[in-house]
Structure 1
Amino acid sequence: MRWAQALTGIALAASLLAAPRLARASDLVLSLSKSRITITSSFTGDNIVLFGVIGAGAPADGPHPFDVVVSVRGPSQGFVTWRKERRFGLWMNVDGRSFLAAPSYLAVLSNRDPALMADADTLRQEQAGFANNRLLQRVGSDYADVVPEDPFRQAFLRVKQAQGLYVERPAGVEFIAPNVFRAVVPIPGTAPIGTYDVVVKVFADRVLVNRGALSLDVAKVDFEQTVATAAQNQPWLYGLITAFGALAVGFIANIAFRRD
């Protein structure tokens, strides 16, 4: 079994060295199965596989010689979370919280619970783990992150998780050899377009020993890209064409299905 694992690690390391999208961070080599995802009208989601090889020189004994946290962040966007209350028989928005420059997509994958990898201060500083990712918010006249138990923060995370845009998998990183790991990053059909940052952090003996980063592009192609570009660059013209198109479809449907 050890010989098989060693051969697997050597073969994978060689393939990573020849990969087109590859990043080195001293002793850490990373590669993605594909560096670009194209979205068409039939796109329903995809999976990207991240491979990593941790170089020699780090500890290789014990049940967890290495710990790995993979964080994938999509383009930043602003969001507002509301708190509703029932008043006068109706549910109404009574309070809100603005999230500034929050990642539109966030996936945190690790080989075990990040809380077991290092002390709490180190995890917060490195944003290692789902709860440790900073989400800048506007609270009154101040701008800051809040405690993980904040109800607005929890509501924001619940909404994004329900949409499939925020993912946490404490067992999402698999070691296929002592120094070789893989992680499958799910990209949903509703993934926003833009550049995604893939950041990998390696811990050993509860200390951060290495880090590396890659980028992943999510883009629309062909007709979808043309429509998206027009909507972004010429919103008024796009809105007028859409409105006239809807009127034309309604007029044709009225003629086709009217009863004499």
Structure 2
Amino acid sequence: MIAPLARLLVFGLLLGAGPAGASELVLSLSKPRVTITSSFAGDSIVLFGVIEPGADAPADLAYDVVVTVRGPNESFVTWRKERRFGLWTNGDSRTFVAAPSYLAVLSNRPPSEMAAPDLLRQEQAGFAQNRLLQRLGTDYADVVPGDPFRQAFLRVKQTQGLYLERTDAVSFLAPRVFRAAIPLPGTAPIGRYEVVVKVFAGGEMLKRGATTLDVGKIDFEQAVATAAQDHAWLYGLVTALGALMVGFIGNIVFRRD
């Protein structure tokens, strides 16, 4: 983790020597790719950042940082349970369209203390401010945070460890240098993750930066996952034949006669 921090500090010095009034946000991940194997139980990726203020920025300006990590988009269906004739059955449902399969919102303090609600909502800075589009008949719309389907969806995702918010996960190593640990559970979906960083000060958003994190399988695991996705019928046939073969061999080895 020291190497990315040292690299960021060098970048910060180069930016400081740039033209007057330059304003930059430099980001670096401890590792830009996470490889998943059969024994993968989770990982933690560290994000480092350097804030280079403009020439007219006060020297004692206090910064706030919100880091939002979104996994590949997927569609999810949330059902409402209803009791009918003494049995619990599925009732109404809502489909969440292009919702992130993984969502982490990390900050140095609660986003509600950084800026006005309208600005936070516009910038999707904060867990409750992230838009989750639902299919409502023929329309698509985000709903209020208290919507029961939204609450149920978030509850399931949080239980799985795929949605989280931590308001103390960003720490400042220096007035303009920060770090944040991005937790990835063992069930982290594969694909490209978008890491968006927004810097606030004085109730305004000053800077925005983004980088990407790739989560993927390797070697045999990747080959199996690709085959299961691209050739589902062939994968199922090979799996069934393999199970039969294992059973046949086991019968021969452990047969008593």
* TM-score of the pair, normalised by structure 1: 0.87
Residue 60 of structure 2: aligned partner: 61
Residue 190 of structure 1: aligned partner: 187
> 102, 112, 117: which one pairs with 2:114?
117
- Structure 2 unpaired stretches of 5+: 14-21
SS at match of 2:146: coil
Q: CA deviation at 1:27?
A: 1.7
- Structure 1 unpaired stretches of 5+: 1-9, 19-24
Counterpart-to-counterpart distance in 2, 1:100 and 1:48: 28
> 214, 219, 223: which one pairs with 1:222?
219
Q: CA deviation at 1:139?
A: 1.5
Counterpart-to-counterpart distance in 1, 2:11 and 2:40: 28
Residue 246 of structure 1: aligned partner: 243
SS at match of 1:132: coil
> 64, 67, 72: which one pairs with 1:70?
67
Q: Give, as a single letter, the amino acid of the residue that structure 2 aligns with 1:14.
A: L
Residue 153 of structure 2: aligned partner: 156
SS at match of 2:128: helix
- Say if 2:21 is the partner of 1:30: no
Q: CA deviation at 1:243?
A: 1.8
Q: Give, as a single letter, the amino acid of the residue that structure 2 aligns with 1:131.
A: A
Counterpart-to-counterpart distance in 1, 2:205 and 2:125: 10
Q: CA deviation at 1:120?
A: 1.0
SS at match of 1:54: strand
Summarize deviations over 1:69-103 as a string: whole Å, max 9, x none: 00000100010011112222322111111001100
Q: Is the 8 A contact 2:189 2:215 kept in 1?
A: yes
Counterparts of residues 99-118 of structure 1 (less than 5 Å): 99-118=96-115
Q: Give, as a single letter, the amino acid of the residue that structure 2 aligns with 1:155.
A: A
Aligned length: 243
Residue 17 of structure 2: aligned partner: none
Q: CA deviation at 1:16?
A: 5.2
> 143, 147, 168: which one pairs with 1:146?
143
Q: Percent identity?
A: 72
Q: Is the 8 A contact 1:85 1:93 kept in 2?
A: yes
Residue 137 of structure 1: aligned partner: 134
Q: Is the 8 A contact 1:59 1:204 kept in 2?
A: no
